[in-house]
Every structure is written in C-alpha cells, then in structure tokens.
Amino acid sequence: MNCFQLQYNSFFSIFVLTINLEHKFMKDFFKMMLASALGFIIASFIFSFISMLIMFAMMGSMMSSFGKQESFVLQNNSVLNLRFEGAIQERIAESDPFTELIGGIPSAMGLNDIVGAIRKAKNNDKIKGIYLDTRIFVASNATLAEIRQELEDFKESGKFIVAYADSYTQGGYYLASVADRVAINPQGMLDLHGMASIPLFYKDALQKLGVEIQLFKVGTYKSFAEPFTQTEMSSANREQTSSLITDIWKSVKDDIAASRNMEATQIDSIANQLPMLRKTDFLLFRNLIDTVLYESEMKNYVRELLGIDSDAKIPSATVAEMKSVKTAVIRKSTNSIALLYASGSIASGNRANGIQDKYFVNEIEKLRKDNNIKAVVFRINSGGGSAYASEQIWKAISDLKEEKPVVVSMGDMAASGGYYIACNANKIVAQPTTITGSIGIFGMIPNFSGTLDKLGISADVVKTNEFSDFGNISRAFNAQEAAMMQSYVDSGYDLFLTRCAEGRGMSKDSLAKYAEGRVWTGNQAKEIGLVDELGGVDEAIRAAAELANLGKSYVVFEYPRMKSPIEEIFNKNKEELAAKTLKSYLGESYDMFILLKNIKDQDYIQARIPYDLNIN
C-alpha cells in the first residue's frame, strides 16, 4: 500500500555550469558562494531572532492570561455570562497560544468546562442567574442537548436564565429556548429550519484523475464509500439518513416546544415559513421570543433582576473565569471514578491525537492497575476507523471490565468502530441525538492505473509468488484477489457482530437485524437494545458509582492528562507544518490531495460511520 508515495523535499538548487573555468569566473563563483552563505546565515539569524520574539510574546500572553485567571474574584450578585462562539469540543487545553497570538479567531470551548461552570453557578450563592449570549458557534446536536440539560437543571435552583442575541442560529435558539426570557435585537434574525443532510460525492472527480475505488463491504447500510463510488445516495442510505435526521429533529422540536409552551406541530409549521427571513414581529407573534430589545436595554433588564442601579456595572463571570472559582474542598479519597475521554478517529499508533490503539490500551491499563479507581466512565466521541485498532481497544476494555465497572457515555457519536469499543461495557448511556450503531465494516482499496495512464507512466512487476504484489495500486484486483478480500471482510464483520452480541447479551441473529451498517440515534438505539439509558456524562457517572457501590462518597478525575500550553507550543506536530506548506502550494487542490492520501493510508479494513453526514 505504500509503494506509490509522493515525497516533498526542499533543498538549495545546484547550478552546474559547463563553461571554461577561467580564473575570473572562479573568483566570481566563490564570491557568489560566499555571499549566498553569508546571506543564508544572516537570514537564519533574523528568522531565529523573530521566532524568539514571537515565542516570548506568546509566553507573555499566556502568563498574562494565567495571572488574570488566578486573580479573578467572584463578586456577590453576579451572573454567569455564557457566551458561545467558536467550536465546542469535548474538552480543551487551558488555552491555545497560537490562536491567542493571531487574534480575531474564536477559541474553542470545552464541553466539560461549560458544564462545570453551570454546575458551579447553580451551587454558588454569589451567582444569581445566567446571561446566555449565543453567537456564531459550532456544536453537534448531542453536545447542545448536554448543555441544555444542564441549563434545565440550573433552573431548579430558582435562579434566572435570560437569553439575548442579535442573531440566533438554530443551535443557539435551541439553547436559548430554555431561558425564562428570550430577547432579540429589533433588527435581529432567528434561524429555525429543521434538519437536512447534504453529503458530497467525489466519484466523477476521482474518475477525472483516473482513480478507481475498489470496494469490499458487509452491510446494506454501510455507506462510507458511497461518496467515492457513486454520484448520489443509495436507497438504503437515503432511508437511514431520513430516519436519522427525522428523529434528531423530533428531539429538538419537542424540547423547544416544551420550553415555549407550544405543540411540536407548531414548531414544524414555523420552520416551514423560514423565520430566518421574517421580521421580529413574526417571531413575537409565533411565541419564539418574549421581547425585542437593544443590548443596552437587555442589560438594564438584568440590572433590575439583580436589584442594582441602572448605571452600575453588572458583576459577571465567564466560563474561563469560573475555572478558578473554588468548590467545596475535595478530601483525598481512595474511591475515585475515572472519566476517560476518547475523541476522534480510531487508528493504529501510539500518539495522543485521536484514538490511537497503543496509546489508549496503555491508558486503560493504568486505570486497571490503579487500586484507587473503583469504576471507569468511558466517554466516546468517534465515528470509528481502523477495525484492527478497535479490536485492540475492545480487548483492553474487556480486561478492565473484569476488575471494575465500565460505563460508556456516548457523546456526539459512537458509531461503527466507536460502537465496537463501547459494546462490551457494563452499561451504555447516550444522548437522544447521539449517532450510534453502524455495525458493519468495509475495505476500500484505490486503483491508480488510470492516473498512471493519464501521466504516461507504466508499471511492471517481477515476483516470486502468486500474491507477492497483492495491494499493488497500479492495477485492479483480479477476480481471485477480489474474492479473497471480500471473504476477509465477511469474516471481520462476523467478528464485529459477535463482539456486539456478546457485549449486549443478545443473540447474533437478533442483533443482525439492527446491524448491516445502519446508523441509529440514541433514542432509536435504546428502543432496540444497543443503548441502556438516555442522558449525559453525569448520568453515566452516577451509574458507574452505583455499579461500584460507592454511594455518594467518590471523586471524579479526567484522563488522559491534557497538555499544558507550553507543551502544546513545543509539541506542535510536524505533519501540521507540512500540511500548511502543502496547502500554500496546492491551493484548492489541497483537499483532493488529502482525500487521496487518506484513502491510501487507511488500514485495509475499516469500521467507520458514513463518510460525511453533513447534517445542518
């Protein structure tokens, strides 16, 4: 698979001059050499000096931000300012120094930090309410559901929640609808349009490049390869995608309707009128909002709720600032629950990015051997990846389960390989809108013979055995090779099905009806037995404590350890630098290059969710 590989090297050009080596020319030549060398040394010195200045500026910026965070003091009569922008991820490092240095780019937010801030605000008497400020941000429906659940729990304290925005995205409004009062700019916009899936298909583009994708799969609904082999959805994929987005939309509109004292059918009716392009009078009349205010007027309303003067500064705390707010002192306990985060694509390797098998097996082994850890919550957010790596992690979880309870908490998705590593847990908890299932595998091998023809390149082979050149991407598989490959994939699917059936305590025949690569929502998965309970991380932690008979006497620690900002600076991936360089040279062709590279570098057998659901 690695026999056809592009390599990019940067080096000084060497000019071979084939003219008479006269004395004058030699003098000029050495002068040029000396000048070039001196110029290179000076340029290197300047570059190093500038790099040091940037480094010191970044470190100064970080130290400054740390100082601010440490010096923050929560005031009486405060509000938690929940301002959402940028991407909301499972969790993030303390800060992103590169983003801070560039400026103007919204930093990512950690779901764990947001949830932690809301819980602290609920239990802290100095905070009287939440000011919800949803801007342009990116978050999945399951992440939104987790935050919304925390907001609803916060309201049980009797404290207020108010929401304001110039423009509400659909996700932003989903969160805002839980507020006691929803306000919008008089010229504002509110988007509520329903759900759509818009996948892209690359078959024709690949054909123009002479690339043929040879597909071997099991599962009628296993549609990862469709973008590479078709120009539109298969009927099976269209069926499962329609079912998926319909159920996700049902959860969203039911929650909005309940909060706004409306019927779900009313939400559908409003969405069909595209409120995004309607005036605020329409929003008021349809009960989507409570009032129309300018931001200054909204802040005066908050001052009234707090009982402070109209010209007084509103005491507030951000999510970042709430990190430094101390909670009750945690006594050292020998009863700990480990919250193990696994987010990204599953692959073979020993690095911390994504879910690499050797790295995670090692982390799981540490938890198994730690006698203070009585239970593990395995937080999975993955659409799958390598079937081989998934099997390795499955085995590590199986060994861990023999000694202490394991509860899976599914995030945005835990599908295909993500479900593989989850299926053997004592209990599985998912959000209603979590994407899961997709029990099926495939092998996808590119054939570049057409590309070589277009470039005028020929390939030949000398071999000692019949299959010595198996996987040679300069030609298509022959009939015998294709049959053997399909048999291998069939065997892998049978193993996947066996693992899931045993983990869920079901017969293979019963589970097979819900497999075939089909994707389900958390709601649907609970009905068919793929999931035990609906909820977020907190429900999973409670379940783990119950299984370990810990009562309420336990503490929770997160794993793996997050890198500090300084470590992030000095551990920047060399691939990241290479990617930036390639992108600057290839321009719009970069995405296609990465697409082909990813196809080439995959393991033979993959357990992945459909390539890109692209749900909006």
The residues carrying an active-site annotation are 222, 416
Residue 134's contacts (CB-CB under 8 Å, 6 or more residues apart) are: 84, 163, 165, 168, 169, 171, 172, 173, 175, 176
Neighbours of 274 (CB within 10 A): 12
Rounded-to-integer distance, Cα 472 and Cα 313, Å = 69
Neighbours of 591 (CB within 10 A): 11
Pairing of the two strands 384-386 and 605-608: antiparallel
Sign of the alpha-carbon torsion through 206, 208, 211, 213: positive
Whether residue 181 contacts residue 162, with contact meaning beta carbons closer than 8 Å, is answered with yes
Sign of the alpha-carbon torsion through 221, 227, 230, 231: positive
Which residue is listed with tokens 């309303």?
301
Selection from 377, 380, 376, 388 nearest residue 349 by Cα: 388
Rounded-to-integer distance, Cα 367 and Cα 404, Å = 10
Backbone φ, ψ for residue 403 (5° rounding): -110, -25
Whether residue 191 contacts residue 276, with contact meaning beta carbons closer than 8 Å, is answered with yes
Sign of the alpha-carbon torsion through 201, 353, 114, 254: positive
3-state secondary structure (DSSP) of residue 338: strand
Q: How far is CA 459 from the centre of its chain?
A: 40
Measure Cα distances from 431 to 144, 245, 424, 540 in Å: 10, 14, 19, 11
Which residue is listed with tokens 């349009």?
193
Selection from 138, 178, 143, 200 nearest residue 260 by Cα: 178
In 351-396, which ranges are E strands?
A: 355-356, 373-382, 384-386
Angle between helical axes of 264-271 and 235-259 (0-180°, round to 10): 110
Sign of the alpha-carbon torsion through 195, 143, 535, 436: positive
Reading the block at residue 339, the tokens are: 């919250």
Reading the block at residue 397, the tokens are: 């979880």
Rounded-to-integer distance, Cα 431 and Cα 265, Å = 23
Each residue of 114-150: b (16+ CB within 10 Å) or e? bbbbbbbbbebeebbbbbbbbeebbbbbbbbbbbbbb
Rounded-to-integer distance, Cα 316 and Cα 498, Å = 53
Q: What is the DSSP string of 470-513?
A: TT-TTS---HHHHHHHHHHHHHHHHHHHHHHHHHHT--HHHHHT
Reading the block at residue 495, the tokens are: 């193993």
Pairing of the two strands 406-415 and 127-138: unpaired
3-state secondary structure (DSSP) of residue 291: strand
